[in-house]
Structure 1
């Protein structure tokens, strides 16, 4: 009788462990290319997704930080080296400040919706996605392609198996 209880307890623990691995509870970002899933980036509450690229006209780097709020991507901050075409602080939006060689506009709170769609630039534009601990280079393999980033919840197992987005070259 005691062995039966031990086996039942072990089975219960095993089932619970598998359920936890499969339960879609981890916040992440799904990255897709033209509708084809490339993988997921883990993104914990309060962490930012950084979209980094080089401005196509002035050739200087730009970084935009997005956070997830209620299932939407929200632009929180932009960092740039100088004001260029379409770049800089818009009066009444955010707060600008100098940070070394960067000009930073913070507290933008610009809701862009449930997904971000990027038309990936050439190798000179060098589009990259960055979350803490991971950077995905998009331009070498996906120049000219439409890449979609959307917040989702995935299982721990899915994050382990994906190993992060890997664009095919």
Structure 2
């Protein structure tokens, strides 16, 4: 009986260790705007439209051993504020005139950051698990904390 209980506890512990949640919270009110299940090894992207050129930019993250890690970025053009920084990932063509910066592999300090979603066509969104949530629609210009928790 003791061995079975130990096996059950190890299974539960392994499951808890591999689970994680991505939570977007409005800082000033504490309102939870979105929650995504992001187990170990899974990822999500924060998307927005460039304020001058209007194309969609994506920064993509992954839950790596309970840490929020910036993995890659998609940038359709070399517009203002965009571009590859040598030594920070590898730039490669996306085959459509833009580029991916792959292998950034940069842990996010404290597994969280603050974003102030733009209004209108900028439309900051989180895409995870086949769903998209518009932070711009839920909390335009508000301070939003995006955090990986539960690991």
Which TM class, normalised by the smaller chain length? Answer: 0.7 to 0.9
How far apart, in 2, do the equivalents of 1:147 and 1:38 lie?
9
Larger radius of gyration: 1
- Structure 1, unmatched stretches of 5+, are 1-15, 155-169
Q: Does 1:134 align with 2:137?
A: no
Q: Counterpart in 1 of 2:102?
A: 106
Preserved contact between residue 36 and residue 129 of structure 2 (Cα < 8 Å): no
Show CA shifts across 1:60-83 (max 9, x none): 210110112344322110001101
| Count of equivalent residues | 134
Superposition TM-score, scaled by structure 1 size: 0.71
Q: Does 1:30 align with 2:23?
A: yes
Superposition TM-score, scaled by structure 2 size: 0.79
Show CA shifts across 1:117-143 (max 9, x none): 110001210110011222111112311
Deviation at 1:116, TM superposition (A): 2.2
How far apart, in 2, do the equivalents of 1:67 and 1:61 lie?
20
Deviation at 1:39, TM superposition (A): 4.0
Match of 2:120 among 106, 123, 128: 123
Preserved contact between residue 52 and residue 129 of structure 1 (Cα < 8 Å): yes
How far apart, in 2, do the equivalents of 1:67 and 1:38 lie?
20
* Root mean square deviation of aligned Cα: 2.1
How far apart, in 2, do the equivalents of 1:24 and 1:143 lie?
34
